[in-house]
Every structure is written in structure tokens, then in C-alpha cells.
Amino acid sequence: MSLEDWEIEVARIDAANALAKDIWQKITASDEQFQAPTDADNKTLMSLIARTAGSMGKQINAIRQIAEQGGNAAKTFADYQHGKDVDLPLLAAIYQRSDLFLNNGLLKDFMRSFPDTMRRERFGLVSRYFADQI
């Protein structure tokens, strides 16, 4: 590689790096419709890596089935979630069946059995995005 070729390559890389920085600034810019992850989300983000999509899907389906079965769904959910990290699967199920969870007040019923501190600890995402529904 000649010195001239090297300088051209350096200029190309510098331009690409500048473009990448610009794109990153746009991605991470504050916006009302986007809430960037906080330090409190580390556990949730790490669980995404530790869990397979299949196991996440099974938890989402289980929560949705609990909601759809009727009866004492809140107690069934409380029993099901014991010892499991179901914050993200519950959030997904809420979005999938908002008619049940939000319109019919099932989310409020699900959360009623948990004290506020436990709710914020175990269901951080649900508490953040649906605070007015619980």
C-alpha cells in the first residue's frame, strides 16, 4: 500500500467513524417515546442473554393462558411467578392481550397480591410502563 493509498483509506475510515458517531447520537438522544435503559435494568438486560427465545416464549404463553383461563387468575399467577423472573414475559403478555390485562383490570388484580416494594423489585418494567394501571 502506498502512502497515498493509506491516506485515502484513513480518510475513508475517519468519515465512517464520524458517521457512526452521528448515528449513535441519534439512537441515544432523549425522546418522549423512548426510554433508554437505566442501571436498574441491568438484571433484565442480562436475563435476555441468559434466556433462549423459546423459554421466553413459553413463559409469555403461560402467563397469557393464566389470564385467559378466568377463575382466580391472580392467585394462579402469584403461584406461577414464584422463583421466576417473569417481568419481561408479563410485559409482553400485557401488550399481546391488552384487552384482558388493561381493559378488564387483570393487571391490577395480578399486582394486588404484591407489596409495593416487591412489585417494584420483581416487576420493574411493568411498574415503569403501566404504573397508572396497577
pLDDT digits (tens, 9 = 90+) for 42-97: 877 888 888 888 999 999 999 999 999 988 999 999 999 998 999 999 999 999 99
pLDDT at 29 over 90: no
64 and 95 in contact (C-beta within 8 Å)? no
Tell me the average pLDDT across 5-16: 97
More confidently predicted of 32 and 11? 11
Amino acid at 72: N
Chain centroid to CA 32: how far? 17
Measured over the CA atoms of residue 72, residue 51, residue 44 and residue 56, the dihedral's sign is negative
Lowest-confidence segment of 6-10, 23-27, 40-44, 63-67 by average pLDDT: 40-44
To the question of pTM greater than 0.75 for the whole model, the response is: no
Give the pLDDT confidence score for residue 26 in this predicted structure: 85
Q: Please report which residue ranges of 70-113 form alpha helices under DSSP H.
A: 73-81, 87-96, 98, 106-112
Strand locations in the chain (E): none
